[in-house]
Amino acid sequence: MKGKIIVCGSQKGGVGKTVTTFNLAYALTSLGKKVLAVDFDSQGNLSTCMGIEDLRNEEKTIGHLMMAEIEDEPIEAVDDFIQNNAGIDFISANVYLSAVDTKLRLEMGAEKMLSNILEPLRNRYDYILIDTAPTLGSLTINALAAADSVIIPVNPQLLAMMGLQDFIKTVSKIRHRINPRFEIAGILLTMCDSRTNLCKVLVEEVNDTFKGQIKVFETCIPTTVKVGEAVYYNMAVEQYSPKSTAGIAYRNFAKELIGYEG
Ligand SMILES: Nc1ncnc2c1ncn2[C@@H]1O[C@H](COP(=O)(O)OP(=O)(O)O)[C@@H](O)[C@H]1O
Ligand SMILES: [Mg+2]
């Protein structure tokens, strides 16, 4: 097994990165894939989705693994850092990751720290999914440098295009300077309210702008209150409400992605 490492990234917050990482992890798991989800945002939202209650006091987080890597004292017992929720393996994150962020900026050759941690885990998983923070800082660069591809969630309600070009530029810099195999898997439209005209117009706009340049996934994720409810119960939306439109959409998205990934 040689797993693919896929990062969910965007310099914008509130576009559905965390919800996508969580629900995609669940959908891939239901399709029989072995998945590791890595929380790489110091806010720890993915860890909360996974049911971690006392986040502040977690001591087995990705931040701790990163700090050990930076100090050149990598931790042997990585398994101690891997937890499980509903069949999905995950590594949590909390505010400690922001200390790592500060430190990374002062380190030489620090772009590959996360890659060094995840590479040895590739042979244990079909997919390793990384959730990132809405910045283009040193942590996000580490995530992009570790990955094979990036899914860019775009919320059409939030002035979809603004800032997207900056992110795409960063992706191409990463490819040229650090990680030549890196590519954009595609743009995923999240929180689409298909009933509104605005949403239709914005979806078209995204399609027109990036046609031929970047894939826009055919599957769009609809807006539904079930997503928030499911997160509250630490469940994927498909698990919480099997008939929910968003759950079905995330399953379809997982299939589309695997098709793409080959
Ligand atoms: N399809 C959806 N329908 C309704 N609410 C959603 C949907 N996707 C995400 N949300 C909500 O939008 C907010 C932002 O999503 P989140 O995944 O945390 O974004 P990000 O990680 O990009 O900041 C959260 O409150 C989440 O519950
Ligand atoms: Mg998030």
CA 27 to chain CA centroid, nearest Å = 14
CB 256 within 8 A of CB 41: no
Q: Is the CB of 13 under 6 A from ligand 1?
A: yes
| Ligand 1 and 133: CB distance under 6 A | no
Structural domain span for residue 40: 4-261
Taking the centre of ligand 2 as the mean of its atom positions, its distance from the CA of residue 43, in whole angstroms, is 8
Q: β-strand 4-8 against 127-132: which pairing, if any?
A: parallel
**Residues of the chain below pLDDT 50:** 262
Give the span between the Cα atoms of 138 and 105, in whole angstroms. 7
The number of the ligand nearest the C-alpha atom of 219 reads 1
Return the pLDDT at 74.
87
Global confidence as pTM: 0.96
Which domain CATH number covers 172? 3.40.50.300
Query: What sign for the dihedral angle of Cα 139, 72, 179, 262?
Result: negative
The reported pLDDT for the residue numbered 261 is 54
Distance between Cα 87 and ligand 2 center (Å): 21
Q: Are 167 and 9 in contact (CB under 8 A)?
A: yes
- How many whole angstroms separate alpha carbon 227 and alpha carbon 221? 10
Q: By C-alpha distance, which of 262, 1, 250, 249 is closest to 125?
A: 1
Q: Identify the pLDDT of residue 33.
A: 97
Q: CB of 69 within 8 A of CB of 107?
A: no
Which ligand 1 atom sits nearest the alpha carbon of residue 222?
1
Report the C-alpha gap between 6 and 147 in whole angstroms: 5
Please give the order of strands across the beta sheet that includes 88-91: 83-85, 88-91, 35-40, 127-132, 4-8, 149-154, 183-189
Please say whether the beta carbons of 50 and 88 come within 8 A: yes
Rounded to 5°, the CA angle 7-9-14 comes to 135
Q: Which residue of 227, 232, 233, 241 sits with most ligand 1 atoms within 8 Å of its CB, as the best mutation to test the pocket?
A: 227
Give the Cα separation of 122 and 73 in Å (integer): 20
Residue 74 Cα to ligand 2 middle (Å): 27
Ligand 1 center to 165 CA (angstroms): 22
Annotate 115-184 with DSSP letters as a single string: HHHHGGGGGG-SEEEEEE-SS-SHHHHHHHHH-SEEEEEE-TTTTTTTTHHHHHHHHHHHHHHT-TT-EE
Tens digit of each residue's pLDDT (9 = 90 or more) over 90-106: 999 999 999 999 999 88
Distance (Å, whole) CA 153 – CA 15 = 6
Alpha carbons 4 and 198: distance in angstroms, whole number:
35
The ligand whose atoms approach the alpha carbon of 193 most closely is: 1
When divided into structural domains, the chain yields a total of 1
